[in-house]
Amino acid sequence: MESILNWISDNQQIIYIVILMIFVGIEVIGRVPSVLHTPLMSGANAIHGVVIIGAIIVMGKAEADNYLALVLGFLAVILGTLNVVGGFVVTDRMLEMFKKKKPPSPKGV
Amino acid sequence: MELNILTLCYLIASVTFILGLKMLSNPASARKGNLVAAAGMTIAIIGTIFLYESDGQKLHNYGWIFGGLLIGGIVGTLAAKKVKMTAMPEMVSLFNGMGGACAALISAAEFYHIYKLHQDSPGTPFSDIVSVGTYVTIAAGAIIGTISYTGSIIAWGKLNGRVKDFSFKGQHIVNMIVLVLVIIAAVWVYRSNIGDMYIPFLLIGFFALIYGILFVLPIGGADMPVVISLLNSFTGVAAACGGFLYDNKAMLTGGILVGAAGTLLTILMCKAMNRSLTNVLIGSFGAGNKAAGAVAGKSSQGNYKEISLADAAMLMAYANKVMVVPGYGLAVAQAQHTCHELEKILEEKGVEFKYAIHPVAGRMPGHMNVLLAEADVPYEKLLEMEQANDEFKTCDVVLVLGANDVVNPAAKNDPASPIYGMPILEVEQAKTVIVNKRSMKPGYAGIENDLFFQPKTSMLFGDAKKVLQDLCAEVKAV
């Protein structure tokens, strides 16, 4: 029990961030129209690619003779980059099509 | 100084993630929002590479880091650029899986790092070295990341038809058992000594792999978007675990943000189908019902009538108002451009032409909007469900293009139907309904559609693109 309480008070900053972020996340997309569900999901997918930072840290900390860590880190960097780059590019491609255009037919207005 | 700049980088990144998500949920700013988030991400990545220090030591292995970034960047860009619009959902799922695997690998590497540090004293209990909180984050990152990885791969396979729906009796019990095994293995690791903890750690990974597969396998293909969205928020949480591990606020905020927003998005998607998340996950839509639905459908099967292309063209050319209900059939046939062409031809003849978009038509919410936007169909012509349902009454011809379940009246009338309660496009209110399908085979939910047998409805069989091309020619000739 005490160790849990200690852990909470040691990490209270982080716990606050987590709780506040949960509310921000819910609030921020609360009123998204269903048209944007797919691009939003794809955009969120790209954002969690921030895990790449962890991969870079793992890679950068690995000692040169620690092959397992090197391989794990290298794979993680590749996969993370795929997630980030692919995610943002796919989202951009989806959204490119939502560009506001002048209605071509005079009937439309 | 440098570390302070890095802190600033992470702060900027966190803010851009929030702003980006906010802008992404509004059509006018969505594209910019995506770029804003991407810019923040770039700042965070570059900052990490050059400024990060741990215990006063800079990162090394730059060759490996840039090599990985280069490979991932090139492959990711090519894949994202090359993928067809219809295959977007699969692509998102695949990228999500990569993120999950990345989070799992980070946990594994961190775990190995701890093991390496204390290799010389294999008798030390693991719990003496790592606090419960830290261990839970490492384990959670590994477990959630792995589940997200295999789950996404299965979802990807299901969407492109490589993996078939599969379920067996008592599957939920088996799933629960596997999940319990994951937790047992996790506890076992914590109770082991340094020297012999890697076997249970591998077991965690192994059982989590299996769980990810079993979790997604029984869920019907039509529900994959919901599953992908859920796995997306899983990966977010896994990323946040990494953020906790390295006390990295950008990872933490980004991950939790996506975790929360993704969960809400999942619920919103379920709502659009008028189903609960449990209902989707337990998979009452799954293979069992598919068989039952098909059998029940057979008995009620009546006669349907076919319409010739010329007649259909005639009907539409002389109508005042035509509405199109696009579905997955339109997407597979890549018929969006031809559809837009038909729209233009009919409008020249003074016909009012609109699209009725069901929120879950196609394979993903918003799928149809993306496709039609690709073909330059203006926004104003796309009606959302409520609007469309009001307008069907004044509509002379409704052309259903490869949509099925979203226009199935069973969702309104038949409480026994697995899709009962899902809001549908009430096309039968229009004067005539023309349904284009490739065959009489049931749609994704695997249930018969009474609409096809109603006197108002006529069938126009064939590939959506081919049929639309022929229709264009015929209408021009009228």
Q: Which of B37, B60, B365 sits opposite A38 (nearest CB)?
A: B365
B150/B232 same-domain check: yes
B226/B364 same-domain check: no
B227/B128 same-domain check: yes
CB-based contact, B68 to chain A, within 8 Å: yes
Total domains, chain B:
2
Residue-wise pLDDT for B463-475, tens only, equals: 888 899 998 988 8
Q: Which of B41, B61, B357 sits opposite A49 (nearest CB)?
A: B41
Kindly give the pairing relationship between strand B57-58 and strand B53-54. antiparallel
pLDDT for B31 equals 92
B386/B441 same-domain check: yes
Report CB contact under 8 Å: A45, B99: yes
Residue B291 has pLDDT above 50, yes or no: no
Q: Does the residue B431 lie in any domain?
A: yes
CB-based contact, A37 to chain B, within 8 Å: yes
B256/B376 same-domain check: no
Residue B297 Cα, gap to closest chain A Cα (Å): 31
Residue-wise pLDDT for B191-200, tens only, equals: 998 888 889 9
Residue B317 Cα, gap to closest chain A Cα (Å): 17
How many residues does this entry show for chain B? 478
Which residue among the candidates B128, B311, B396, B405 is catalytic per the annotation?
B405
Q: Does the residue B81 lie in any domain?
A: no
Q: Which of B229, B253, B282 is the last residue of a domain?
A: B282
Where are the extended beta strands (E) located within B291-336? Answer: 305-306, 321-326
Residue A101 Cα, gap to closest chain B Cα (Å): 7
Q: Does the residue B41 lie in any domain?
A: no
B137/B254 same-domain check: yes
- Partners of B324 in the β-ladder: B355, B399
- Find the CATH number of the domain harbouring B390: 3.40.50.1220
The residue behind tokens 């039968």 is: B428
- Residue B396 dihedral angles phi and psi, to the nearest 5°: -85, -45
Residue A20 has pLDDT above 80, yes or no: yes
Contact status, residue B233 vs residue B266, Cβ threshold 8 Å:
yes
CB-based contact, B257 to chain A, within 8 Å: yes
Query: Across residues B367-380, what is the average pLDDT?
Result: 82
More confident residue, B328 or B206: B206
B278/B308 same-domain check: no
* % of chain B residues with pLDDT over 90: 42
Rounded to the nearest angstrom, the gap between the alpha carbon of residue B77 and the centroid of all alpha carbons in its chain is: 20
Residue A3 to residue A95: CA distance in whole angstroms: 48
**Is A50 strand, coil or helix?**
helix
Residue B85 has pLDDT above 60, yes or no: yes
Tell me what ipTM this predicted complex has.
0.90
Interface of A with B in 6-35 (CB under 8 A): 7, 10-11, 14, 17-18, 21-26, 28-35
Provide the domain limits for residue B169. Answer: 87-282
B311/B266 same-domain check: no
Q: Which of B24, B52, B131 sits opposite A43 (nearest CB)?
A: B24
| Domain residue ranges of chain A, discontinuous segments joined by + | 1-31, 33-98
B115/B249 same-domain check: yes
